[in-house]
Structure formats: structure tokens, C-alpha cells
Chains A and B, each alone.
Chain A
Amino acid sequence: MDQPYESTAHADHEHKPHGWRRWVFATNHKDIGTMYLIFSGVMFFLGGAAAMAIRAQLFKSGMELFDPGVYNSLVTMHALLMIFGAVMPAWVGLANWMIPMQIGAPDMALPRLNNLSFWILPFAGALLVSSFFVPGGAPAGGWTMYPPLMEQFGASFPMVIFAIHLLGISSILGAINIIVTIMNLRAPGMTLLRMPLFVWAWLITAYLLIAVMPVLAGAVTMLLTDHFFGTSFFNAAGGGDPVMFMHIFWFFGHPEVYILILPAFGVISEIIPAFSRKPLFGYEAMVYATASIAFLSFIVWGHHMFTVGMPVAAQLFFMLSTMLIAVPTGVKVFNWTATMWRGSLSFEPPMLFAVAFLFLFTIGGFSGLMLALVPSDYQYHGTYFVVAHFHYVLVPGAVFAIIGAIYYWLPKWSGRMYDMRLAKWHFWLSVISVNVLFFPQHFLGLAGMPRRIADYAPQFTDWNMVSSIGGFVFGASQLLFPYIIWRCVRAGKPAEARPWDGARGLEWELPSPAPYHSWQSPPSEAMLAHGAEH
């Protein structure tokens, strides 16, 4: 390291390290973003495999494939892999790729820290996945890890605890890096209220991450010491309370679900204006709505545990605060709709996924409102209705937004266009099958089918079969996605700098593919004004 730093001012050549060093010692935000996205894709298909196994088991009533212990492990690992392995790293990968390009920065503010936050992930993922192969099998207490059930598992128990510690460290470091990049590296003239909404959404998400990942670390540490060192946090005989874990966990858990969805709001706020060829309706309202949702996420956790028993005053508080979230969320949905109103719409794949998001996420929002009502939650709690609710916000919500984002920015990353026809097949197969998969689960839940159960009463068989068929089609159609990306990167037609004529934002002022080091000198005011989204 004789020349440790290069001045970005005169490093105008493509200074790209070669071989494995480029990836293992990576400091380039685009390389690290790519690694994040690949890791996320691997985890998505592993978690998806677990989901396919779950739907296979539930295809018919009766213990068809797995014994209940293995089934519960599959459910638990599906959740952990999808949340911590697939969706969160996908968002950080997108943040890595897009935030420096969108604010006119040469890279992330702390590139080595950036490398560390990525490289923790494969180790954490290995620790998590290998818990399948230890005596007693993978943890089977659900991703919420409630004690005392969670503490009754075998060798996998500390593996999961420490995997979560690693994932948490990675998220905190990643979030710190994102905040610092946004606060310190914006191009001259890029004021906070000129930032693209994806950047805004991520700024707020990063605050959430730093606030709640340490709380999760605390919660799982308490589980660990209760199990191995005889502490009494969750042991009533010692004066503790297992319900306390639920409070601490959900204090993390509710902001966590917004960590999964807020960047999606940002992405949708980029895509819809681009394909409506209109500026976003109510930019500032969107910023304030995102911030309000983030604030409210800290005071609603009790709605995950209405049935556990809590004072009526607390139930009322959590019910009303939860319903309050519908206001800023409604602002967002109406603003997206108003953006499309009288726009010059076209339906390329990113827009298709964004419009599907708008409709299907809203369905998840409505079922969320139903669950927020204490009296009706008593009926729905712990049923497939809840499963349907959070899968509507996470699959056609968060996952569709990630897919839409990749279809939106892939030409910029790779410099090539993908096969539009195939991508539209991917969309239509996904959007139809995802509804076949999850909509019947509302009916099952309302009819009383409990979640997290390896077998069910025969009267639930028909809708479960429908749901499983939807699941298999959805799973299979996702295989198109890596194929489309691979074909695009290998042999796609060259993409223009601005492949979507309505797209606004600094990233489209760069050539496609974006140069290895972009914005070595900051963008001009003219570029900023041209790129402005609103």
C-alpha cells in the first residue's frame, strides 16, 4: 500500500483491480452492490426452496412429507433466510449501487467498512444454513424465537443467536455507511429536499436499522444467557417474564418490517413518475409520510401480541397508533395514483411490477387494518389470515419492488437491455400466481386454520391445494429472473444512457454502463436541474 489513496479528481482511467482481489478486497460501491445482490439472490432461492417444501407438505391434509419438527424448521428458516438473507441484503445492494450515483458522489463514504458489512453476510448465512445439519436440526420456534420454546432446541440454538448477531452487525455498519454517505457526500446543490425519494427512503430506513438492530442483539443475548448462564430475563420463577421477550422482540420487529418496505416505497416513487412521464405528485408529502411511518413504527409493536394479555389501555393505545399508520400510507398510495392520473403511461416491466405493487401492497395494507382492531384480531391472530397479510406486503410488496428496481436500473448497471418479452412473461406469471398463492390463505385463516402447523383438518384441503399450485407456479416463474439477467449481461442489446425516456435523476446523466468510478467530479447544476425529479 505505497499509494493508499487515489485522488478522485484525476483518476479518470478505469482503475479496476483484477482477479479475486477485486471482490474480496472490494471498496468500489458497484462491486459491493453486485455482491450484495448476488448473495441476496442465492438466499432468495434457498428460502424459496424451503417455501416450496412447505407448500408441498400442505398440498394435502395428513403428514405427507416431513415430520412436524422438520416442517417447523422449514418455516423458521424460510422466514430467517427471506428477511435477513434475501430482502435486507437486496435493499443494501441497491443502496450501494444507486445512492452514490443518485446524489452525485464518487462512492460510499466509508468504502472499507462497506466491504466489511458485505463480507460478514456469507459467514452469517453459512452459520444459519448449516444449522440444518447439526443434531436436533435447525431451530423450529419461528423467526420470532419466543422463549421458552426457542430455548428447547438443540445444538442449533446458539448458531442462530450468533448468526443473528453477525447479521445485525452487518446491518448496523451498512446503515451507518448509508447515513454518512447521504449526509456528507451529496453533490453541491443537492439539498436534502432535492434528493431522489429512493435516497430519502433509505436515509430513514438506515435510522430505523441503527435504532432497532441493537435491540434485537440485546433480545437474543438475553435468550442466550437465559439458556446457558442461568439468567432469569424470561423465567417467571426468577421474577422475569417470557412476555417481556415479545415486547423487546417486537420493539425491534415492527420497525424491522418497515425496514423491509420503506426502500420499496422509494423505488416505487422512482418508477411510477418515470413511466407516467410526469413528476411525482406531492414530493414533500412523500418525504414527510415516510418519516411519519418510521416514527409510528416505534410505538405500535403491541399489535403483534394483543392476545398475549395486556392492559386494556395498552391495547387501545396500540390499536389507535397502528391505525394512524394508515394516514401516511394512504398519502403515499394516493400520491402514486395521482402521479399516474393523466400521465402518458407505458407499461415496461419495471412499471408493471410497480403498478402490481400499488394494488397488491394496498390489499396487504387493508388486511393490516383489520388485524389492527383488537376485537377482530382476537379472531385472526395466529391464523393463515396473518400469513396472507404479511405475505401480501412482503412478496408483491417488497419483493416485487426489488424485482422492479432491478428491471429499472439493470440497463444502467450492465449497459445492456434485457428481453422485454421474457420479462413481461416473468411479470404476468408472477402476478397471477402470487394471488393464487396468497389470496386463498385469507379464506383459510378466516375459517380458522392455524399458522405454523404441519397438518390440518381435511375441510381446509381445497384452498390449500389452490394455494400450493399458485406457490409452485410462482416459485418456478422466479427461475426466469436470473435467466433474464444472465442473458442481458451476456448478450443484451446496448442500452442508451437514458433507456426510459421519462426517467429523471442523476444516474441517468451517466453513460450506460455507468463508469467504474462515477461522479469523480461532481455533477453540474445544469445536470442537477435536468435530473431533478420534481
Chain B
Amino acid sequence: MTDAHAHADSNYYVPHGSPWPIVAALALFCLMLGAVLFLDGVTSAWSLLPGPLLLIFLFIGWFATVIGENQKGVYNLRVDRSFRLAMMWFIFSEVMFFAAFFGALFYARMFAVPWLGGQGVKALTNFLLWPHYEATWPTNGPGHLGGEHFEAMSPTGIAALNTLILLTSGLTITIAHHALRSGKRGRLKVFLALTFLLGFTFVALQAHEYIGAYTRMNLKLTTGIYGTTFFMLTGFHGLHVTIGAIMLVVIWLRVMRGHFTPERHFAFEAVAWYWHFVDVVWLCLFIFVYWL
């Protein structure tokens, strides 16, 4: 470092090669190929298995490597900042993924269904194909897909309870974060555990809600556009809550092992951001899917 303008902060640590990225690429490929083989009817459902198994192996392996390196203290603040930025933009990409499905919901409600009901520029569809169809929401379309009658989801009941649960979990993780920053490890452990317990409770209640929809309400994935948007939006969200809760468990285990300092705890913050993201998506779901 003979250069006069260089200072310590501008050193950047470039990691050596690692086998994990190629394992990740292979795992993703197995996941996709397994799904292709299953959907094309070449194999039975067993082909769906190797991909997720490899992914689990990958996540354990890659994260263990990174956590190990982190505990050795090889990441400086600049690397930490890279991780932060990357996580923020990853969450933004997730936001855009959900935006596509919310877009589909809004399009169906604002345009597709009213047009089928005889309003607007495409009223001719109604006139020629389904003259008796009246646009309402919820609907399973002029073809009454999934049966003549179905029951729509109510914003009270499980949905309201789940809203309460996720909002509470947003609070508990914030309390845990404050505890971490002020060095109160006992409170941190309790409130972090509470957060993922609330998360898993949410998922369990959602499973209960799904079972009820299929068995009692005749509301299925195939119940026209209402069933489609309901199950796809809440399903992808539930998947993200599950992943988020697993992430919470992982950082909880790390807290139990004494990881993280009041100053340096990127992984904790990344998971917290992710958790708030699934929280906000749920609020949108609650408003636009259950309520309005």
C-alpha cells in the first residue's frame, strides 16, 4: 500500500473459489428438470425430490461456509455493505414478483371481469359468448369453473387473526433487534423465538384455512379467477412466510451460539428486512384479496 490515496476502508476481500456456486447451479437444474419430468408424465413424483434435497444440502453447506468465514472475522465493513445492498435488491426483486400477481388480480377485477359482463371495449364477448353472465366479484367466470357455487373468503375470522399474528411478529422482531443492539441477549432470545413461533402459527392457520376452503367452501385453485388469484397470491406469500420463519430459526440458533454483536449483525438485519417484507405483502393481500 504505497499509494497515498488508498486508505484501509478501500481494501476489499476477494474470496477464493468455492464449490458451492456450482452445487447451487446443479441443484436449481435438478429442481427444474425434476419438475419437467414429472409434469411431462415421464416419471412419477419421485423426480421432484432430488432438487429440493440438493437445495437443502446447498443452503446448509454454503451458509455454513459463509458463517464460518464471518466468525473468523474476514469480512470487513465494506463486504458487510455489499451484503446489505445485495439483500435490499433481492427483496426488491421479490416485490416485483408479487407485483406481477397483484397486477393480474387488479387486471381481472378492473378489466377482464367487467368486459366479460358486457361493459367497455370488449363487451362483444359477453354479447356473443356469454350473454347471461353478470360481472360480480368474487366470480369463477362465465363458465362457472370449479362448480356453480362456492364460498368466498371472509376478511374476518382466520384472515383477521393472521393479520394480527403477522403484525405482532413484526413488533416482536423489532423488540428483538433493539435487545440485540443494547446487548440484552436474554430478551433477544425470547423475542426472536416468539417471532418464528408466530410465523409458524400463521402458516398452520393458513393450512387450516386452505383445508376448510377445499372441504367446506368448494373454493379451489380451479375455482375460476377468484380461486386462481386467491390461492396463487396467498400460496406464494405462505411459501415466503415459511422460508422467512426458517431463516428466523437459523438466526435464532446462531444467537444461541453467541453469534452477532450489537454493532455487527448483518444476517439478523437481513432476516428482519425479509420478515417485514412478507408482513407488508400480507397487508396488501388482506386489503385486496380478503377485504375489498
Chain A interface (Cβ < 8 Å from any Cβ of B): 1, 3-9, 17, 21-22, 24-28, 105-107, 109-113, 115-116, 119-120, 123, 127, 134, 155, 158-159, 162-163, 165-166, 169, 172, 175-177, 179-180, 183-185, 187-189, 210-215, 217-219, 222, 224-225, 228-233, 235-241, 243-244, 247-248, 251, 309-311, 517, 521-522, 524-525
Contacts and interface: CB of A to CB of B under 8 A. Distances in A.
Nearest to A126: B29
Given A21-B17, A240-B108, A309 B121 contact: yes
Contacts of B74: 4-5
Contacts of A189: 5
B6 A522 contact: yes
The interface size bin for chain B is 35 or more
A224 B232 CA distance: 12
Given A123-B25, A231-B228, A239 B113 contact: yes
Interface in B31-57: 32-33, 35-36, 39-40, 42
Given A25-B22, A210-B96, A127 B141 contact: no
B10 A240 contact: no
B97 interface: yes
A272 to B, nearest CB: 30
A309 B125 CA distance: 12
B140 A238 contact: yes
Contact of A522 (B5, B19, B116): B5
Contacts of B68: 4
B11 interface: yes
A25 B19 CA distance: 6
Most B C-beta atoms less than 10 A away, residue of A9, A17, A233: A233
9 contacts: A5-B13, A6-B13, A8-B13, A25-B18, A105-B12, A113-B21, A123-B28, A184-B82, A188-B6
A522 B10 contact: yes
Interface in B228-243: 228, 231-232
A26 B5 contact: no
Given A240-B225, A248-B104, A158 B10 contact: no
Q: From DSSP, what is the main secondary structure of chain A's interface residues?
A: helix
Contacts of A525: 5
Most B C-beta atoms less than 10 A away, residue of A158, A188, A241, A309: A241
Contact of A120 (B13, B28, B97, B139): B28
A146 to B, nearest CB: 15
Most A C-beta atoms less than 10 A away, residue of B15, B92, B125, B231: B15
A158 B36 contact: yes
Nearest to B124: A309
A192 B86 CA distance: 19
